[in-house]
Amino acid sequence: MQPVEQRDEVEMLSLMLLIRRFEERASQQYQAQKIGGFCHLYIGQEAVVVGAVAAVRDDDYIITAYRDHGHALARGTSPNACMAELFGKATGCSQGLGGSMHFFDKKNHMYGGHAIVGAHVPLAAGMAFASKYREEDRITLCFFGDGAINQGSFHEALNLIALYKLPVVLICENNLFAMGTSVKRSTSLKQIVDRAEGYDIPGDIVDGMNFREVRDKLSEIVTSIRKDPHPAFVEIRTYRYRGHSMSDPASYRTKEELEKYRLDDPIIRLRAQLTREGKLTNEQFDAFDKKAKETVLASVKFAESSPELPVEKVYNYAYFKGPIEPEWKRREGAPALKAES
Amino acid sequence: METARGRASSKGGVVREITYRQALNEALAEELARDPNVFLMGEEVAEYHGAYKVSQGLLERFGPKRIIDTPISENGFAGLGVGAAMVGLRPIIEFMTFSFSLVAFDQVVNNAPNMFMMSGGQFNIPITFRGPNGPAHQLGATHSHATESLYANAPGLKVCTPATPRDAKGLLKTAVRDDNPVLVLEAELLYSSKGMVEPPDEELLIPLGQAEVKREGSDVSIICYAQTVPLAIAVAAQLEEEDISAEIVDLRSIKPLDEVTIFNSVSKTHRAVIVEQDRPFCGVGAEVCYRIQKNIFDELDAPIMRVSQEDVPMPYNERLEKFVLPNADKLMAAVKKVCYA
Ligand SMILES: Cc1ncc(C[n+]2csc(CCOP(=O)(O)OP(=O)(O)O)c2C)c(N)n1
Ligand SMILES: [Mg+2]
């Protein structure tokens, strides 16, 4: 496993590029009706998850809400498995059974993809509880939106996490809006991070458009938690460039606001930093970008040519190791009754 | 029959074709205008005009005092509604979808319907919970719940499931005027469907607990509600070509249940198929089936059949989802089976 401090920034930049290009392509494929259901894009927020992942070990746990494509990709889930999931294919990270909002990848310690707002925060408490119980030094990173902080499950979980001193980093991706509702209209606090104070959890505010700031703050927190398990809260200020989901025209905000954030783009920013420091040439950047685009295009081909699960497989996923009897068989009459008649 | 047919309504006004969504909107506007104690509260209902645009224009007309956006706090605002109802207001609480009402299950099931009994009749709860219900299209397991049998199981709740614009308007208006908690489970997939409705100046109230024969027939009764009504109508047309005459009974209300209309129909056709959008186990169909055999057993010429979802969480993949849902083929097969055709 790569010691964290050595994770190459240039690599992290290409990871952000990969997420960006993946989302752009997903958007296009959604419009072409290759992808169904709801689809929430992460464009603009890439530095949050990439910065966080750059600060932890590969075996730390990650859990998030439904805007989850970037989290899976950052965790190492292959673009093929991600695109195939969107296409509903058997080769998808959740075998096409979960869809955009429910990406899971046990191997890479990505524990979903959860679509009920706030409902996964208690799960993070449980995962961290298990680490502590087993005396492991794993940390759980729990990502959620600004909209989640007003759910009861969030509050109950925060108290439990604080009470049991669980090794969770609570990462609020504050992109200023929950659907069409701005934080100002949803939350009684001046700033979200104050939620943590109410539970005696240390909190920080981080600029989510700056990869280095996210990584450095998370590294500091993670080092402290590894020494002695405890929770932490970070409000990471970011922005989603696209609408809430594919069907949202985002008319509740101004063009000027969007433009302001686009100028502060996390990819442009890290690129500029690296270029200034002589660690990256324009040619290298273009090569990374080209590679990201090719990888994503290949993932579309992969998804298109992948098989779907046979329909009867639905009976295998109601219970673990317990396939159930199809309803149509019941309609035909139970086998025992048939034998009698 | 109550159905508005042709150009003129029963009161001589001109019926118009409007969408299910518009019908709900009219019902809300009329009840808000009629009674100052009525208010509408929920996520994105005001400035965004509803996630499904049902509350279009209401904020502009009735103002922010009566059309109220909430944070994502279903348990909180459902409970707020119950409390406001205890002291005399008549809240309409919108769930963005009934899948999210599960977060508020305690308030809807444990507070709203129990209060009257527990308080020895001092507190009735005149509240309406409404919003889209039932599987939509590829939204995955967490977002595809049909909640009617969950809620109909709770004593003290009333549950209705309109399938047409006219029923949507008439039932919602009745729900708001009811002095008990009523759930109006709207059909997400039918919001844009159209139908004839009386003119706005004619008061349209459809009583709870009244089913409607949507199509007359003599060979088999297809008992349906919500999203399975258009399915049954389409299948009845197909059956006609095969010389099977199907009568369609739209329950409209799940609770109270209109036994008379059901029994009259089945006594005429002597055969019944129940088609529900919900899951099979402990479902609405099981209750209807029990009542038919208990009361008019001798009228039956064949065992009653049920068509429902398969008993599995909803998969995202489109083909698998279709396989899980009730569909025309399954309904045709069930009808033919009871008709021994
Ligand atoms: C319990 C629940 N209520 C409502 C919704 C519908 N919904 C989905 S996302 C969302 C907004 C969430 O915003 P936020 O937490 O800020 O995350 P973001 O979309 O900005 O990433 C809402 C209201 C839901 N999924 N779950
Ligand atoms: Mg947000």
In DSSP terms, B184 is beta-bridged to B130, B160
Residues contacting residue A227 through CB under 8 Å, at least 6 positions apart = none
Give yes or no for residue A179 CB within 6 A of ligand 1.
Answer: yes
- 3-class SS at A315? helix
Confirm whether the ipTM is greater than 0.85: yes
Q: Is B334 on the interface with A (CB under 8 A)?
A: yes
Structure-token pair, residue A184:
């100002």
With CB atoms and an 8 Å threshold, state whether A252 touches B312: no
Average pLDDT along chain B: 96
What does A194-219 look like in DSSP terms, one character per residue?
Answer: HHHHTTT--EEEEETT-HHHHHHHHH
Query: Helices A79-86 & A9-31, crossing angle to 10 degrees?
Result: 20
How far is residue A147's CA from residue A144's CA, in Å, rounded to a whole number? 8
Residue among B44, B143, B299, B310 flagged as catalytic: B143
- Cβ contact A175:A146 at 8 Å: yes
Q: Which domains does chain B have, with CATH numbers?
A: 9-197 (3.40.50.970), 212-338 (3.40.50.920)
Q: Is B218 on the interface with A (CB under 8 A)?
A: no
- CA atoms in the 13 A half-sphere facing the CB of A35: 26
Residues contacting residue B75 through CB under 8 Å, at least 6 positions apart = A152, B103, B104, B106, B107
With CB atoms and an 8 Å threshold, state whether B103 touches A186: no
Q: With the C-alpha atoms ordered A64, A70, A76, A82, is the resulting torsion angle positive or negative?
A: positive
Cis amide linkage into residue B256, ω under 30° from 0: yes
Kindly give the confidence (pLDDT) of every residue in chain A, 341 residues in length, as a single tens digit, with 9 standing for 90 and above: 444 556 899 999 999 999 999 999 999 999 999 999 999 999 999 999 999 999 999 999 999 999 999 999 999 999 999 999 999 999 999 999 999 999 999 999 999 999 999 999 999 999 999 999 999 999 999 999 999 999 999 999 999 999 999 999 999 999 999 999 999 999 999 999 999 999 999 999 999 999 999 999 999 999 999 999 999 999 999 999 999 999 999 999 999 999 999 999 999 999 999 999 999 999 999 999 999 999 999 999 999 999 999 999 999 999 998 788 887 777 765 444 443 33
Distances in Å between the Cα of B20 and the Cα atoms of A161, B146, B186, B226, B341 are 45, 19, 9, 12, 36
Instruction: Record the pTM.
Output: 0.95
In this structure, the strands spanning B38-42 and B67-69 are: parallel
pLDDT band at B7 (very low <50, low <70, confident <90, very high): low
DSSP 8-class letter at A25: H
Cα torsion B312, B316, B320, B322 to 10°: value is: 90
Residue among B26, B43, B74, B94 flagged as catalytic: B74
| Ligand with the closest atom to the CA of A116 | 1
- Whether pLDDT at B225 is above 70: yes
Q: Which domains does chain A have, with CATH numbers?
A: 4-309 (3.40.50.970), 310-341 (no CATH)
Q: Which helix (H) or strand (E) covers residue A235, if one does?
A: strand A232-237
A126: buried, middle or exposed (CB in 10 Å: 19+, 13-18, 0-12)? middle
Residue from B96, B97, B188 whose mutation best tests the ligand 1 pocket (most atoms within 8 A of CB): B96
Distances in Å between the Cα of A281 and the Cα atoms of A15, A50, A274, B204 are 17, 21, 9, 71
Q: Pick B313's closest partner by Cβ from A152, A186, A318.
A: A318
Residue B270 falls in the annotated catalytic set:
no
Largest CA distance in chain B: 59
Question: Which residues in B lie closer than 8 A to residue A186 (C-beta atoms)?
Answer: 71-72
- Cβ contact B138:B322 at 8 Å: no
Distances in Å between the Cα of A189 and the Cα atoms of A78, A146, A196, A201 are 39, 12, 11, 16
> pLDDT digits over B82-128, tens only?
999 999 999 999 999 999 999 999 999 999 999 999 999 999 999 99
Find the angle CA(B173)-CA(B176)-CA(B182) to the nearest 5 degrees.
110
Least Cα distance to A74 among A157, A175, A171 occurs for A171
Residue B44 falls in the annotated catalytic set:
no
Q: Which helix (H) or strand (E) covers residue A185, if one does?
A: helix A183-186
